[in-house]
Structure 1
Amino acid sequence: MANQADKTFFARADAHIKLSNEQISKEVSRGKVSASMLYAAARFNAWVSATGYLSRTEMAKGREETLDYFCEQYRKMLEENLDDYIENYEKYMGTIQ
């Protein structure tokens, strides 16, 4: 993923993460913020997908392909980030194990 990113990719991602971190509080847990962020990404990606079609029928025909694409991309990104956290756990979490 990282080698496919444009020059401002990580800055945009970091801005979303910063906003999510700011939403975490005593009343709102990391899990709830994560769920909101996932929903926002899904909603935005549905809109992005819709802009590529000329009709509802055309979009419906491309539904499975769209789902496959976004699910595959999310899995790749999650795997990359999980591996990074596993490799750098002590550094990122400030612990010694």
Structure 2
Amino acid sequence: MSNDPEFKNRSNAVIDFFNEQMQKSGLPPHFTAASGAYAAARFAVWAAARNTVSVDELKTRRQHVIDTFAEGHRQMLEEHFDEYVNNYDQYFQQKPGVILP
């Protein structure tokens, strides 16, 4: 989203919120990740629906919207996965014998 100067700030604010939720719940990170993915999907559909003028238009755009958001999510996952692979030792300084959830 290079044309949106606030993109990273909003993303970081959401990540901060997820970190707070994870700490409050005491559950493993994947629970918060699942909640975040669910919320992102719901919000994406709302945003798509808001940009239509009728339910028929929304129905017509269904597959395009799903494909567009799914491809964008896949690209973001790949980008961040590669980042974590390349920086694993820096991000996770593990003690020997520790098994992560």
What TM-score bracket applies, with the shorter chain setting the length? Answer: 0.7 to 0.9
Structure 1 residue runs of 5 or longer lacking an equivalent are none
Instruction: Give the aligned partner of residue 36 of structure 1.
Output: 35
Mean Cα deviation higher: 69-78 or 28-37 = 28-37
Cα pair 1:89 1:95 within 8 Å, conserved:
no
Aligned length: 94
Q: How has the CA–CA distance of structure 1 residues 72 and 89 changed in structure 2, closer, same or farther, with 3 Å as cutoff? A: same
Q: State the percentage of identical aligned residues.
A: 37
Q: Note the alpha carbon deviations across 1:28-72, whole angstroms, 9 max, x for none.
A: 331211111011101110110001111111100110000000000
The residue correspondences of 1:48-87 to structure 2 (distance < 5 A) are 48-87=47-86
Q: TM-score, normalised by structure 1?
A: 0.87
Q: How has the CA–CA distance of structure 1 residues 5 and 75 changed in structure 2, closer, same or farther, with 3 Å as cutoff? A: farther
Moved over 4 A (4+): none
Q: Following the alignment from structure 2 to structure 1, what is the Cα–Cα distance between the partners of residues 11 and 88?
A: 20
What is the aligned-residue RMSD (CA, Å)? 1.8
Structure 2 residue runs of 5 or longer lacking an equivalent are 96-101
- Of structures 1 and 2, the one with the larger relative CO (CA 8 A, separation 6+) is 1
Q: TM-score, normalised by structure 2?
A: 0.84
